[in-house]
A and B are shown apart, each in its own frame.
Chain A
Amino acid sequence: MSWLALYIKELRLGKTKFLLNMIFLLMVAVLFYVLIERYNPFFIALTIPLIILHFFYMFFAMLDALRQEWKHNTAVFWMNIPKSGWQLLTAKYVAVMTQLFVSLSLTFIIIYILLKRSAVHFTDPIIPNFLIEQYQAYGWILFVGVFIASLQTGVVSTFIYMVAKSVRKWGWLLGTGIMVASSWIWFKFQETAIYRGLTEWGVVLEEETLMNSFFVHFDSIAGEPTMDMDVTNDAILYVGTAVVDLLLVVGVLYVCAWLLDKKVEA
């Protein structure tokens, strides 16, 4: 129950900025809608940055959620709550994650609606219809991918902030340095057989299947020029990769929680 109270408090703490975020998204959606309807359906391409922005959503939202405690002097109250650092931090993290989920879902819905609208304005509907089909079939993979990537950026900023509040003068630099070094080690680890053994299970999508869907589509239109796309890497997307990525997020959060309990200063 106390975790829930902390979670609700975090939602309220970030409520104003989250509402501004939603208003911004809706305003951008209206703007793009007008551009597509009045000028050119290719304006649909402008929605791509909206997805890219969500990669960094957790990074900045967690940074802001933590910074607010210190900026408004509530850190002394927050840190005096007799709950583990894990509870305090996960309440913050899950609240920000909830906001990310809503914001990203809205973005995907906006893109889908705009995609549908833009399709009407193309003289040849093959390409927009193809894009809509691909979006319907694989959009959820993109959603999950962006979501997990954003979760990872969230623990990066949380870690840097925790180190900054533990080591007074050079904390920011030290936290950033540790994160850069850890990321490099992690990338190296991804090249090992151990990593492959841990992650290569539960096939979600094979590059070959995706490419075949491209080929079949274009080739099936009689009289149209065909487009042939070859499989280049035989890349396969696994559930295992997502699970390991999420475990990494939990691990880093655990370290952050330890820092909050033992090293962080109000």
Chain B
Amino acid sequence: MDNMMINFYSVSKKYGLTTAVKDVSFQIPSGGIIGLVGSNGSGKSTLLKLTAGLLTKSAGEIVVCGETVTRLIAKKVAFLAEVDSLYDFYTVRETLSFSKRVFPDFDEQKAVEIVEVLEVDLHKKIGALSKGNRARVKIAIALSRKVPLLIMDEPLSGLDPLVREDIIKMIAKYVEMENQTLIISTHEVSEVEPLLDHVLLVQNGEIILSEKVEDLREKKGQSVLDAMKEVLR
């Protein structure tokens, strides 16, 4: 249990009368990239926000990095939201400087390097950037936090193929696999599959598959997509 990054014990989450997550229990070990896959509305975002302490559970217990989750788990968890969540009045440079000052674990040099590689204008205001460039800056900030757990909620959603490709390359290049665990939620399974070490399939607020991607390939001869199809059939 000690080397587990994330522990969910009978966790449920309700929004009023609607149950988004039903009595879910699972563990995720430290290290590697974990894909949280499932259709829209299956409960992926809720699970990720619960893990990051951005939602409160209705029942059960969540332990991340050995700590019971509250919002203050943010010192160990970087959360990247699906929506545009940066302050649009800051320039890109100011956003990185602000991040440096509020995130003690932030590597500004790395962030500037990522942003420059992606050719995003440092002097442009966030509000004036294209959607793709805003996504690139968001990813650069998340990847520049030296935290044990990175959470990315639908980082590819609504972006054109070039931006998606950039993001996948950045993840592959900049996630520190020895020290960090990345959970990435998506319904674009085939695009992220080469990155994944482990896959969790969510449906109707329940985890219906939890497998190492290597096991799927070697023992069952399946891709993640094949496994999804089989389980959902």
Contacts and interface: CB of A to CB of B under 8 A. Distances in A.
Given A12-B89, A72-B88, A73-B85, A79 B102 contact: no
Contact of B85 (A2, A77, A166, A169): A77
A81 interface: yes
B71 A264 contact: yes
Interface stretch (A149-157, A219-227, A231-239, A255-263): A255-263
A263 B83 CA distance: 22
B87 A9 contact: yes
Contacts of A15: 89
Contacts of B77: 80
Interface stretch (A82-90, A96-104, A115-123, A205-213): A82-90
B174 interface: no
Nearest to B86: A77
A166 B56 CA distance: 8
Interface stretch (B47-55, B191-199, B204-212, B223-231): B47-55
A20 to B, nearest CB: 15
Interface of chain B, main secondary structure:
loop
Interface in A58-112: 72-77, 79-85
A15 B90 CA distance: 12
A77 B72 contact: no
Report, as a range, how many residues of chain A touch the other chain: 20 to 34
A45 interface: no
A82 B83 contact: no
A250 interface: no
B88 A263 contact: no
Which residue of A6, A75, A77 has the most chain B CB atoms within 10 A of its CB atom? A77
Given A74-B86, A79-B54, A261-B70, 7 more contacts: A5-B98, A75-B85, A77-B85, A81-B103, A82-B103, A168-B16, A262-B71
Nearest to B52: A80
Given A83-B102, A261-B72, A263-B56, A13 B87 contact: yes
A169 B102 CA distance: 32
A46 interface: no
A151 B103 CA distance: 29
12 contacts: A2-B104, A13-B89, A72-B87, A74-B86, A77-B87, A80-B52, A168-B15, A168-B16, A261-B71, A263-B56, A264-B71, A265-B54
Given A2-B102, A82-B103, A76 B81 contact: yes
Given A81-B102, A82-B103, A265-B55, A73 B71 contact: no
Contacts of B85: 73-77
